Chains A and B, each alone.
Chain A
Amino acid sequence: EPEVTQTPSHQVTQMGQEVILRCVPISNHLYFYWYRQILGQKVEFLVSFYNNEISEKSEIFDDQFSVERPDGSNFTLKIRSTKLEDSAMYFCASSALYEQYFGPGTRLTVT
């Protein structure tokens, strides 16, 4: 069964460094998303992406964040200058229509 994959599973970085989180959505899906979950809290929407454009973004998704689909398979989330409060689990999701399928997540730890 096709699934969303994410790499790395765990990333440790120092405050102020840039990180790129990678996702490979399900191959026939057209809609892509990033969510994050700070430990012990609810899952929060960051951004949605369709047809090589951002469709919607939350107030969390400020100028430090960017997304890209550099080729036909990868979907990336870049954080330009990480802050301590960016420490969280980051989930990529994709959908063909309304059902979003999530990857296993990347745990980002900012020290």
Chain B
Amino acid sequence: AQTVTQSQPEMSVQEAETVTLSCTYDTSESNYYLFWYKQPPSRQMILVIRQEAYKQQNATENRFSVNFQKAAKSFSLKISDSQLGDTAMYFCAFMKLDTGANSKLTFGKGITLSVRP
């Protein structure tokens, strides 16, 4: 079974600064995807970024980027130029690919990020 660990329960960052959210995972799979989802106070789950395990290049989406260390099973999210709207719970999630595209997501416990004005 896969496990996803987010050990930091809360973080705070000043607006316009950079923050990194940590995530580690444990799996024996070689073929998988990793995701970060954002859950603002509205509680809707919003996909932030995706990383394919076979890709060495770290994924980037505008102000969001990841540091994917496959050997260390680490997948951190960096948010640059933090904005007040980034205040949310952030979940790291794992998807193994052996069952194809219909695979479930396994989530970590999440981290609450607060952006201070």
Which residues of A line the B interface, CB within 8 A? Answer: 31, 33, 35, 41-45, 48, 50, 55-56, 58, 89, 91, 93, 95-105
Contact = CB atoms under 8 A, between A and B. Distances in A.
Nearest to A46: B104
A96 B102 CA distance: 9
A99 B45 CA distance: 12
Contacts of A42: 91, 107-110
Interface in B60-117: 91, 95, 97, 99, 101-110
B41 to A, nearest CB: 12
A97 B101 CA distance: 5
Interface of B: 33, 35, 37, 42-47, 50, 91, 95, 97, 99, 101-110
Contacts of A35: 105
19 contacts: A35-B105, A42-B91, A43-B91, A43-B107, A45-B104, A48-B102, A48-B104, A55-B99, A91-B45, A97-B101, A98-B33, A98-B97, A98-B101, A100-B47, A102-B47, A104-B42, A104-B44, A105-B43, A105-B45
Nearest to B106: A45
Contacts of B43: 89, 104-105
